[in-house]
Structure 1
Amino acid sequence: MEYLSSSVHLCLNSSIVERLNGAQIFTVSDFLNSENKQIEKITALTAKEILELRKNLLKKFVNARNAYNYYKSISNEFAIVPTGISRLDNLLEGGLFTGNIYEICGLPASGKTYFCLTLLNNLALKHITEIMYIDTKNDFSALKLKQMMMYHLEKDDMIAAMNRIIVNKVNSKQHFLSVLLEIKHALQNGQIIKFVIIDSLPPLIWNSVNHTENNSFLTYSANILHYLAKEYNAIIIVTNLITLWNEGDFKNRNIMKEKISCGSFWYTVPNVRIVLKKDKNLCKMTLTKSIRFVPPINSCDVTFNNNGLI
């Protein structure tokens, strides 16, 4: 098998090849048999660049049938799904990456649920397989989603798209966990579910002041969500609330501190965190956490309209 070099692909400059060799990756075969995340960590290439490099190497060095099968397995393991909100997709290097938990947080009425509806609408246009939507606030609006879809889909296509969205209204920790376990069992039995959207997490713990119980619930929830993301390459979207607190300085009541709900444990759970701030018909989206890196320009402005966020 061909050794890695710039003659194999221009992306493989001497610095990258040296780092790969240091990790015992010498040939094209070694590269193709290595995990995407390992390559990303060694080379500092973006996930999108690694996927394109794999495709090129498969086409160049592997026979067509095997290349196609391998590409299908790579696509299943590692894919990017655009949100359909172009500026946000640019900020996220193409869109949402499978196998990750995304947290969408903001102050009350900042557009978190509207973001979820926009995502559902845009995913429907791509004919994404079943999407699980967990509604803890009991405010999911099928009518609003239908109005969004009417701008893009004919009636029959709209009905088919809405039938692919499974809405679960939950009102307790136990019900929430049972729904997650049902999703897990469905995936284990071969059902294809690429998206799980949870709107929202805080209402499930607000009805209890038992911190031990709440922390146990969040720990168990996080374990299941990470399992769904990693084992089945699902994309998990969780909305969370930002609250304002006065730190006890009553002489400076105008000084308020923002806190993300669900406590310090949950703060570490999402792979990616996006903060929404609404100002009239505009929404500023700021990337505050990422599994790769937070770019110097880490925010974008989008607009609210009847079609969703654009």
Structure 2
Amino acid sequence: MATTVRADQLQTPAHNPGASDETIWSPIDTLESVGIQRGDIKKFQEAGYHTADSILMTSARHLERIKGLSEAKVLKAQDSAGKVCRRLGFQSARAVREKRQSDVFHITTGSTELDNLLKGGIETGVVTEIVGEFRTGKTQLAMTLAVTSLMAQEQGGGNGAVLYLDSENAFSDERLAEIADRFGVDRDLADENVFVHNIYNEDNFEPAFKEAKRMIAEQQVSLVIVDSVMSVLRNEYQGRGELSARQQKLSQILYSIKRMAQEFNIAVVLTNQMCADPGCTFTNDAKKAVGGHVLAHLVNLRLYLRKGRGEQRIARIDKSCKHALGEATFELSAGGIMDVAQ
């Protein structure tokens, strides 16, 4: 068992503000030093923009919707953000690799074999989708990550808090405590640093993301979990007549999630459901991930889970531009995800 991680040991990691002179993102307050009025900065914050990077990453058309900000003010803010951020402009492949090596880290899944498949675990700065049928371990993997994210980076953790958006009423504080015991994480640390936000309908996503970005800007957060991204939308949009509207809403949600991962260099994990695939005639039990091409294109890595023998589960990388397609076997236990017992 790992050395117990206590609440007073959760330190500011290198990927958050204040840890070094050069951070991945710049607080929006830095715009005041390059000529943006304090009142305008407050309007951006009230609208959910807490970094100078977010101003640069959002189109002027969207920013102009903020009450009290004219086109001229928005363009000036974007120009000023470009002076304090290093988001735009060409970089050499070497610079990209060096930045990735210094900024990106991985969070262990609890299974060495699965970590090896993922080249170290769940990666920060990208969106990872975990898809599978019921009882394949999607939520159990998410709950395990909620605990391991609290551990120090030297132990395979993220050394930061966790934001858990729960649309399926699946979060369990009892499971959190059991998994924390397995990893030697103090229960008080888990209770005080895993924050749960219930999602009841599609309208809850936007304020939840707005609050999440505020929390990430103010404290050390290493992981955001959305469990699951499609359950609410499947209920609210039904039939082919509403499919286009559903996919547009899904695209908006995914864009917000992906930008959050890039802006703050945090890991974002989505769980997703399966549905029957009537268009496939090569198998009697064909299934596919819900969400169509919109979801498939916007996530960075898709991890497909299926059942094995007993409590064994098989994870397969179905989509990734960084990983070779492959499989790993792990086991579900009272302590979360673990390697298969020999």
TM-score, length basis structure 2: 0.64
**SS of equivalent to 1:226:** helix
Contact 1:288 1:294 in 2 (8 A): no
Aligned position for 1:39 = 94
The CA RMSD measured in Å over matched residues stands at: 2.7
- The count of aligned residue pairs is 240
Aligned position for 1:60 = none
Q: Deviations over 1:39-58 (max 9, x none)?
A: 398xxxxx69973xxxxxxx
Instruction: Give, in angstroms, the shift of residue 148 of structure 1.
Output: 2.1
**SS of equivalent to 1:150:** helix
Distance 1:35 1:93 in 2: 25
Aligned position for 2:313 = 283
Aligned position for 1:111 = 137
Distance 1:248 1:301 in 2: 26
Contact 2:200 2:232 in 1 (8 A): yes
Q: Which amino acid aligns with 2:247?
A: N
2:229 is equivalent to residue 229 of structure 1: no
Q: Which amino acid aligns with 1:197?
A: I
Distance 2:108 2:260 in 1: 20
1:219 to 251, 254, 261: 251
**SS of equivalent to 2:273:** strand
TM-score, length basis structure 1: 0.70
Contact 2:107 2:148 in 1 (8 A): no
Decide which structure has the larger Cα Rg and report it. Answer: 1
Q: Which amino acid aligns with 2:94?
A: I
Unpaired runs of at least 5, structure 1: 1-33, 42-46, 52-73
Aligned position for 1:171 = 200
Aligned position for 1:137 = 168
Q: Which amino acid aligns with 1:265?
A: V
Q: Deviations over 1:15-46 (max 9, x none)?
A: xxxxxxxxxxxxxxxxxxx958x3398xxxxx
Contact 1:131 1:164 in 2 (8 A): yes
Contact 1:201 1:239 in 2 (8 A): yes
Distance 2:106 2:320 in 1: 15
Q: Deviations over 1:87-142 (max 9, x none)?
A: 11111111222110000001122110111112123223437221100110012111
Unpaired runs of at least 5, structure 2: 1-89, 153-157
Q: What percentage of aligned pairs have identical amino acids? A: 22
Q: Which amino acid aligns with 1:128?
A: N
**1:129/1:293 CA distance change after superposition, 3 Å:** closer
Q: Deviations over 1:246-273 (max 9, x none)?
A: 3397xx9x62322110122111111011
Instruction: Give, in angstroms, the shift of residue 237 of structure 1.
Output: 0.1
Contact 2:167 2:199 in 1 (8 A): yes
Q: Which amino acid aligns with 2:334?
A: N
